[in-house]
Structure 1
Amino acid sequence: MTNLNIHYAIVDDEEPGRTNLRLAMEAHAGWQLAFEADSAARAREALAGCRIDLLFLDIQMPRESGLLLARELGRMIEPPLVVFVTAHSAHAIEAFEVHALDYLLKPLNDARLAQAVERAALLLAGRQRGAYGRALHAYTEGPAYLEQISVRSVGRIDQVRVADILWIEAQGNYVALHTAAGSPLHRVALSRLEEHLDPAQFLRVHRSSIVRREQVAGLSVAGDGSYALRLRGTAEVPVSERYVGAVRELLGA
């Protein structure tokens, strides 16, 4: 997808990293480099003087992390889309916590870069920048616990109200947010998401599942000694030995 008005910037403290990314972006017609910066401070100065659509942002930089700058961008009404660039895959979850559009691992892979660029172009073409800005703002300035979750898919961002979630199921690198209307997938680790959920509303019952407390209807024991939690409706969720006591306490109450 080509759009002659798409402007991007690169923030990386290492010159080879900036050069490699700049050269790789030359293969994508219609993308114009607005500026390069070797620190978050210099990027902040440059951003004050121009408007860009996409920011390639290194996570690990001296003095100030790219994660901190990304959170700061959440205060803007329409922040640029953020694609993190990192040498460490462990930073991926943190990247999505601040609503990065995507993340790229060093050394850069041309196919992954093309995928990130296409996702950004689709989002911008669909005029979703405002939705992205609201999602980022809600994360950085919102309450202690999540009230909504921004689910990103190709070309769009959808908001899932936490109040509508019945239970949550881990599925690889994603979680399925089970609601009455459907089960959208959100890319985050279940344990990481749990940290942002109100424990008065949600209960961990298994390494792969979290349930809304008010949805718990009953607990049964299978012949092999395993446990299953029956939720209001038809859903049945496994319960591990570790969490049985908490479930029984809830049912007793």
Structure 2
Amino acid sequence: MTASPPLRVLLVDDERPALDELAFLLSQDPRVGDVLTSDSATDGLRILQEADVDVVFLDVQMPGLTGIELAQVLSRFKQPPRFVFVTAHEGHAVDAFDVHAVDYVLKPVRAERLAEAVRRAVGAEPLPTRDTEVAVERGGVTRFISRADITHVEAQGDYARLHTAADSYLVRSPLATLEAEWADAGFVRIHRSLLVSLAHVREVRMDGGRCTVMVGPAPVELVVSRRHTRELRDLLLRHRTAP
């Protein structure tokens, strides 16, 4: 029987001594590989947007975004991690399991109790994937937009700007990453700095060898690079004639 790969875990706790102790205990567990740490839920969310994590161990009461609120955000990820609450407070257990936590461990943490939480995390069914919503943050508030509403995506350095008919949102994700992850949803590259949703392309215009597309309900004109022109037209043809 093939052994499962080591877990990559993220620990989120605003109390450094508790964070260091938890990191030490988990590093001793042979089922655990990489151990990432964060001292706030907001920073933990940033890490999760940049790295693949199997299990998140998180405190409940933290300044700003609470552990319960972070778990609610995590449950809406495309591939949600499993999560375990590690807290000094018993009163939040119902809320924890309402957001499908695999375990609820009370502080001070005993090594054998933590080992049981890891066992439950290993055996837990992953949360259902959600690939129709995208988490975006503005002014410290995280909200969710439907990917189906995104007309095009614009590269901005290590970030990408998601455009909808009504607004735009900056996310910490390179354009190449979104191109790979969203290809099956009909997002294609038309320029080194642009992706478009085929579903939102209203017109393709050719003028003197220059190709542009009109996207969205109040159409925005976007330039298509020469190297992507033929591919885009072929993709649009297949997309429009697909059953």
Write the deviation string for residues 69-89 of structure 1: whole angstroms up to 9, x where unpaired: 99xxxxxxxxx83747xxxxx
Amino acid at match of 1:122: G
Amino acid at match of 1:161: S
In the alignment, does 2:171 pair up with 1:229?
no
5+ long unaligned stretches in structure 1: 1-6, 10-30, 46-62, 71-79, 85-91, 100-119
1:124 corresponds to which of 66, 69, 73: 66
Q: How far apart are residue 139 of structure 1 and its match? A: 3.3
2:13 corresponds to which of 8, 11, 16: 8
In the alignment, does 2:35 pair up with 1:66?
yes
In the alignment, what sits opposite 1:195?
180
In the alignment, what sits opposite 1:175?
160
- State the identity as a percent: 25
In the alignment, does 2:2 pair up with 1:33?
no
Distance 1:142 1:164 in 2: 24
For residues 109-120 of structure 1, the aligned pairs below 5 Å read none
In the alignment, what sits opposite 2:204?
219
Amino acid at match of 1:165: I
For residues 36-51 of structure 1, the aligned pairs below 5 Å read 36-37=20-21, 42=26
Q: How far apart are residue 33 of structure 1 and its match? A: 3.5
1:204 and 1:211 in contact (8 A); partners too: yes
For residues 142-153 of structure 1, the aligned pairs below 5 Å read 146-153=131-138
In the alignment, what sits opposite 1:241?
226
Write the deviation string for residues 203-237 of structure 1: whole angstroms up to 9, x where unpaired: 221111111112222333455x5432222432111
Distance 2:76 2:129 in 1: 15
Instruction: Please provide the CA RMSD for this pair.
Output: 3.9
Structure 2-normalised TM-score? 0.54
Amino acid at match of 1:96: E
Q: How far apart are residue 32 of structure 1 and its match? A: 6.2
Q: Does the residue aligned with 1:128 lie in a helix, a strand or coil?
A: helix
Q: How far apart are residue 64 of structure 1 and its match? A: 1.6
Write the deviation string for residues 135-164 of structure 1: whole angstroms up to 9, x where unpaired: 358534467783211112343211111121
Amino acid at match of 2:80: Y
In the alignment, what sits opposite 2:113?
none
Distance 2:214 2:80 in 1: 32
